[in-house]
Amino acid sequence: MALIECRKLTRSYRRGQNVITPLHELDLDVEEGSFLSLMGPSGSGKTTLLNLIGGIDTPTSGSLTIDGRDLARMSRSQLARWRSDYIGYIFQLYNLVPTLTAYENVELPLLLHRLSRRERHRKVQLAMDLVGIADRHDHFPRQLSGGQEQRVAIARAIVADPRIIVADEPTWTARPPRRSSTCWYG
């Protein structure tokens, strides 16, 4: 069984009286350990697919199963917990919290896990070291360059050691983390 299975996966949006369908009956299997890149023109459904896989959006029809779990059958709280365990998401515009330091932005996903303060600190330091941003731990996003903001976003995505990393339009300045089982790049 594949880690990710899409069957007739469809996502439509309504814009006024128009229905836009960026994904129409997609069938896709992704094996664990895969490293994939999605390419296509703007509006072709790349971000839509990533948001579905990341559990941020829900399909209009079809099924999406990740590691044997049908995401559409999960409650909101189950989906939130699953996302915190399975998904590391690097957003296209980083989505850093402007009132938090780089350290606090990286630490944020760990607050959903039962970890001691010491263990959280160890994990945050490791993630920030891996992307070369530890020296900016006390800086706020407005005090960072675009590349530094991106590295904070990457550290935040990898800090909880997720099974899947989803990156929407990344430009990697370093190697992707080795411990992730599947990486998606749109």
Tens of pLDDT, residue by residue over 83-139, are: 999 999 998 889 999 999 999 999 999 998 999 999 999 999 999 999 999 999 999
Confidence class for position 58, pLDDT limits 50, 70, 90: very high
pLDDT band at 178 (very low <50, low <70, confident <90, very high): very low
* Position 171 confidence tier, pLDDT thresholds 50, 70, 90: low
Domain 89-185, what architecture?
3-Layer(aba) Sandwich (3.40)
Fold (topology level) of 4-88: Rossmann fold (3.40.50)
Neighbours of 46 (CB within 10 A): 21
Mean pLDDT of the chain: 90
Q: What is the location of CATH 3.40.50.300 in the chain?
A: 4-88, 89-185
153-182: string of b/e by CB count within 10 Å (b at 16+)? bbbbbbbbebbbbbbbebeeeeebbeebbb
d(CA 104, CA 96): 10
**Backbone phi and psi for residue 146, each to the nearest 5 degrees, phi listed first:** -60, -40
Specify whether the CB–CB gap between 110 and 160 falls below 8 A: yes
